[in-house]
Amino acid sequence: MDFNPSQREAILHRDGPMLVLAGPGSGKTRVITERTRYLIRECQISPSNILVITFTKAAAAEMRERFRVRMGAQTPPVTFGTFHAVFFSILKYAYHYTAENIVREDQKLSCMRGIIGKMDLEYEDETEFITSVLGEIGLIKNSGIDLAHYYSVNCAEEVFRRIYSRYHEYLYQHRLIDFEDMLVYTWELFSERKDILAAWQNKYRYILIDEFQDINKLQFDIVKLLAGERRNLFVVGDDDQSIYRFRGAKPELMLHFKDDFPEARMVLLDVNYRSQANIVNHSLNLIGHNQERFQKRIQAAAEKTTDIEYVVFEDQRKENLRIIRDIAEHRERGGSYEDFAVLFRTHTQPRLLMEQLMEYNIPFRTKDKIPNLYEHWIARDIFAYLRIAQGSRERRDFLQIMNRPKRYITRESLDAETVAFDAWEWFFEEQPWVAERIRKLEADVKRLSRMNPYAAINYIRKGIGYDEFCTDYADYRRIRVEDLYEVLDELQESAKGYDDFDGWYDHIETYTKELEQLSKKREREGEECVSLATLHSAKGLEYENVYLIDVNEGLMPYKKAVLDAEIEEERRMFYVGMTRAKKNLHLFSVRQFNQKDAEISRFIAESQENVSPPCR
């Protein structure tokens, strides 16, 4: 097989630590599998002494298959696995765990529902709250943060610590472990039992790690123990593609690898075999604006074939129509839907694009689970108001909105299955200020009944005061009120153009059914589709034509990114998006996003500049 000089240098490395900087499309999987083969065939290393670690099951399976093909009929017993799979196998020998000891998702959800159900907490979406809290628990374990010094973003510190402690007690009592515990318990085992550590050090004498930029502190601490005095640690990754800090990934561990292993050799895989030269050069211009990185000179194997397209559209609808036109023209020329990918920053962005693709019968597949806007708890509140305006007098609709905004109405005042406004007002005869609020609600719903969907939502927000309720709720939950306003803006935008509720409701029903079908389609392979993906889930993939949409400030970089380290991670995400393209890259911005003026992202200008960042 042909290898370039830098690939050959990495492959022929035998003993001691090595850091391989592998840019996009640089053939890192080939390098890892070929080095493994070299150790076995040329260096006479026992295959059972080699450990290859990846971050996903799919990557481990692909690596194993490539190695099998390269080695021929008899595949040597090299260990390929994820961090969690490898560490769990270690725990199985030490503690006799089986798969039954790994907590299932339904067990975690049931446990958390039981915990928070006894704590009288206020939240609108239980699953969303539980998922967020479990994410925080995982981050603490992965990062080794002291619980006493952690400040929750979802609830008060005292509340979070009680949830954390009760969750841990549940796992302990049922002899269960979660994925983060696999790391914690392995580190504790190796730290306390030097004899067990020595046995595994003797077992895995050569360790290769893929996607090293995504490693967290606990994983690295365990790997260092496992490498021991032999220090045969071969790590491959790209600091410019580290985009999982929210999961605990620490790109600085890669940047400072030589602090832990001063004798480590370093090699840069400096040829991009995926993207044409123009894409490589513009993406390097962009990422060169990051300060905390290794400086790299990367060249493209393919010459420049097309210019990168930068376009600013009036709004998302026109932006989407341009993408649809390009896809249709490509198909007329005999091309495939598979040649196209549309990438975006957040999984809520593509709703309008999906609706328009459905209108034009263009099949698509999402790499992420796209939430249904119309099932969000805010949408359920708005729909309850609209049902009442259209004549509903069901108790459940009134219970849903009676204190949104706060009206100080008690549940006991609604004791019948249907609601009569005059009887409801009479219930508060001795509290006339509450009765007055009910009279205002009655007048408000009468006004709503005469409005179209767009105007009605606007009145609920501004005239009735639903925006104020969102402000109070965001303050209580310690979340950004802008995130709630964004849901309202998108809901209001979706109602635009509908003169009556029947037409809008029919659209919502059709979209919901399509989304359910789409969820099933995500599991099927072989069907020719356009790919829609967030920048996070697009990592590792490649396409002939890539569209990065809504390249605007507040989205790319995302509005929550404030600190320099956060902006640098946003820039790395954009770099990942750009380098998915093989031939054609389109960067699209809009002047208005959800009916609000939008500024073009700084990343557009940065990608067009030539910069010379300081060398690390």
Cis geometry, peptide bond prior to residue 24 (ω within 30 degrees of 0): no
Provide the pLDDT for residue 357: 92
pLDDT reported for residue 129: 87
- The DSSP H or E segment spanning 82 is strand 79-82
Do 84 and 182 meet the contact criterion of CB atoms below 8 Å apart? Answer: yes
Q: Is 390 helix (H, G, I), strand (E, B) or coil?
A: coil
The tens digit of pLDDT for each residue in 211-269 reads 999 999 999 999 999 999 999 999 999 999 999 988 888 889 999 999 999 999 999 99
pLDDT above 50 for 161: yes
- pLDDT exceeds 90 at position 543: yes
Instruction: Evaluate whether 197 touches 235 at the Cβ level (below 8 Å).
Output: no
Average pLDDT over residues 166-186: 93
Statement: residue 535 has pLDDT above 70: yes
Cα–Cα distance measured from residue 85 to residue 412, given in angstroms and rounded to the nearest whole number: 53
Strands 592-593 and 596-597: antiparallel
Measured CA to CA, the distance from residue 18 to residue 271 in angstroms comes to: 19
**pLDDT band (50, 70, 90) for residue 616:** very low
**Angstrom distance (rounded) from CA 539 to CA 580:** 8
- The predicted structure's pLDDT at residue 227: 95
Residue 615 has pLDDT above 70, yes or no: no
Contact 23, 270 (CB under 8 A): yes
User: For residue 560, how far is the Cα from the chain centroid?
Assistant: 14
- Calculate the CA 493 to chain-centre distance: 25
75: pLDDT strictly greater than 80: no
How far is CA 61 from its chain centroid? 22
Is the CB of residue 529 less than 8 Å from the CB of residue 365? yes
394-453 pLDDT, tens per residue?
Answer: 999 999 999 999 999 998 898 888 999 989 989 998 899 999 999 999 999 999 999 999
- For residue 1, name the pLDDT band (cuts at 50, 70, 90): low
**Rounded mean pLDDT of the chain?**
91
What value does the mean pLDDT take over residues 551-557? 95
pTM for this predicted structure: 0.87
The three-state (H, E, C) secondary structure of 199-250, written as one string: HHHHHCCEEEECCHHHCEHHHHHHHHHHHCCCCCEEEEECHHHCCCHHHCEC
Q: CA-to-CA distance for 494 and 509, rounded, in angstroms? A: 13
CB 189 within 8 A of CB 200: no
Beta-carbon count within 10 A of 564 CB: 11
Buried b (16+ CB within 10 A) or exposed e, 369-402: ebeebbebebbebbbbbbbbbeebeeeebbebbb
Which pLDDT does position 415 carry in this prediction?
Answer: 85
HEC readout, 4-27: CHHHHHHHCCCCCCEEEEECCCCC
Task: Read off φ and ψ for residue 96, nearest 5 degrees.
Answer: 60, 35
Q: 465 to each of 282, 380, 441, 455, how far by Cα in Å?
A: 47, 16, 11, 14
Mapped onto helix, strand or coil, the DSSP state of residue 363 is: coil
SS (H, E, C) 277-343: HHHHHHHHHHHCCCCCCCCCCCEEEECCCCCCEEEEECCHHHHHHHHHHHHHHHHHCCCCHHHEEEE
Looking at residue 212, its amino acid is F
Contacts of 40 (CB under 8 A, 6+ apart): 46, 47, 50, 71, 76, 78
Element (H, E) at 351: helix 351-359
Confidence of residue 456 (pLDDT cuts 50, 70, 90): very high
Q: Which spans in 42-117 are helix H?
A: 57-71, 83-95, 105-117
Residue 522 has pLDDT above 60, yes or no: no
- What are the pLDDT digits (tens) for 118-131? 887 777 778 888 98
> Cβ neighbours of residue 46 under 8 Å, at least 6 residues apart?
40
Mean pLDDT across the stretch 328-352?
Answer: 93
Written as six digits, the tokens of 76 are 């040597």
Q: Which residues pair with 588 in a beta bridge?
A: 311
**pLDDT at residue 494 greater than cutoff 60:** yes
3-state class of 7 per DSSP?
helix
Predicted pLDDT at 380: 94
Please state, for a pLDDT cut of 70, what percent of the chain lies above it: 97
Find the helix or strand (DSSP H, E) in which 596 lies.
strand 596-597
Whole-number Å distance between alpha carbons of 613 and 339: 34
Tell me, rounded to whole angstroms, the distance of Cα 365 from its chain centroid: 17
Does the structure show a pLDDT above 90 at 202?
yes
pLDDT, greater one: 323 or 144: 323
Grade residue 73 by pLDDT with cuts at 50, 70 and 90: low
